[in-house]
Amino acid sequence: MARFKYFFNRSMALFLLAIAAGTFLPQGIEIAAALTLPALTTILTITLLRMPRGFLRRPGLRFSPAVWGNVLSYLVLGNFIIWSSFFLIRKEGLWAGMVLVAAVPPAVSIIPLSKLFRTEQKFSFAGLAGAYLGGILFTPLIGLGFLKFIPLNYFGIILLIVELIALPLILSRLAVEKEWDKIIKPYEGTISDWCFFIVFYALVASSHDLISQRPLDIFFIFFIAVISTFLIGFAVEKICAFYGVARGKTTSLLLLATLKNYALSGGIALAIFNKDVAIPSMIFIIIMFIYETWLKIRIKNVIAVPDTKPEQSRV
């Protein structure tokens, strides 16, 4: 029973409920679409509250993991998604959706997963924060660079980046410094889960009926999503093992290299583009849930074993 609760928690239940509701009761899509951006801003702000007080006051100590966060999320994972999509995805809307997936920062679920998996949390947090700061620059550059032939509201994109990346960072640090986070803490899980429900419902309701229209492209998106998580994660672990990286830091690097904020890319797709563009985000979210569950099963079996590797490494 304890193992069942460990995997089938409230977040998973609401995720499955959102899929069912979006598929069979899509009539609420207009309301959900209007609430998507506020829900995403709330999710990002609440999740970033978990970063310790004063975490960003000494940026010099966070520089190395911040660089790794940007390298793994944009240079490694982002490049893989973009270039594999370039050769495999033919429909313009789906291609634009893949570019958005590649352009967003890492998933905020890295913070709770880092605590659950007993990673080097300061490294994970600094890598995540660095990638979000980098996202203020990289996200619009990637979008503008690869979507320049698609008519875009560039000013709207810049405003979205500010609202969904810069604003949550500012609000979360302000709340922590003013100790408002103590008021929010008892309710943060419930608030985040229901905000995620809104986003997942909006993505499923807006795009589920379009999936059958491009079966080959959908298959390739699933294929890219699986490779970009399971295979890249396997490669990161093997490289870290070769260089003697400690288990905690290896898991931190693994999370930064395989998880992106697909809810964020889906929200941007619904706000600026058409329904086709949101489909890749929905598919990547499904694969991410499967991947995170697989990680919980796999890593839970080894975290009880003491890490005997030395802390020195070449990473």
Question: Any idea which residue has 């190395």 for tokens?
Answer: 64
pLDDT of 142 > 50? The answer is: yes
Residue 286, pLDDT score: 92
Q: Which of 62-76, 108-122, 301-315 has the highest mean pLDDT?
A: 62-76
Q: What is the pLDDT of residues 228-274, one digit of tens each?
A: 999 999 999 999 999 999 999 999 999 999 999 999 899 888 888 87
Looking at the DSSP assignment, which residues form a beta bridge with residue 106?
A: 260
Q: What is the pLDDT of residues 84-121, one digit of tens each?
A: 999 999 888 899 999 999 999 999 889 888 888 888 88
Amino acid at 191: I
Query: Is the separation of the CB atoms in 102 and 75 below 8 Å?
Result: no
Q: What is the pLDDT of residues 194-224, one digit of tens each?
A: 999 999 999 999 887 777 788 899 999 999 9
Cα 16 to Cα 297: distance, rounded to the nearest angstrom: 19
Amino acid at 142: I
Residue 58, pLDDT score: 61
Task: Residue 92: count other Cβ atoms within 10 Å of its Cβ.
Answer: 13
pLDDT of 55 > 90? The answer is: no
- The dihedral built from the CA positions of residue 130, 131, 135 and 138, taken in this order, carries a sign that is positive
Question: Any idea which residue has 């990547």 for tokens?
Answer: 284
Report CA 298 to chain centroid distance, whole Å.
20
Looking at the DSSP assignment, which residues form a beta bridge with residue 260?
A: 106
pTM of the predicted model as reported, rounded to 2 decimal places: 0.86
In this structure, which CATH number among 3.40.50.2300, 1.20.1530.20, 1.10.357.10, 1.10.3720.10 belongs to the domain 13-300? Answer: 1.20.1530.20
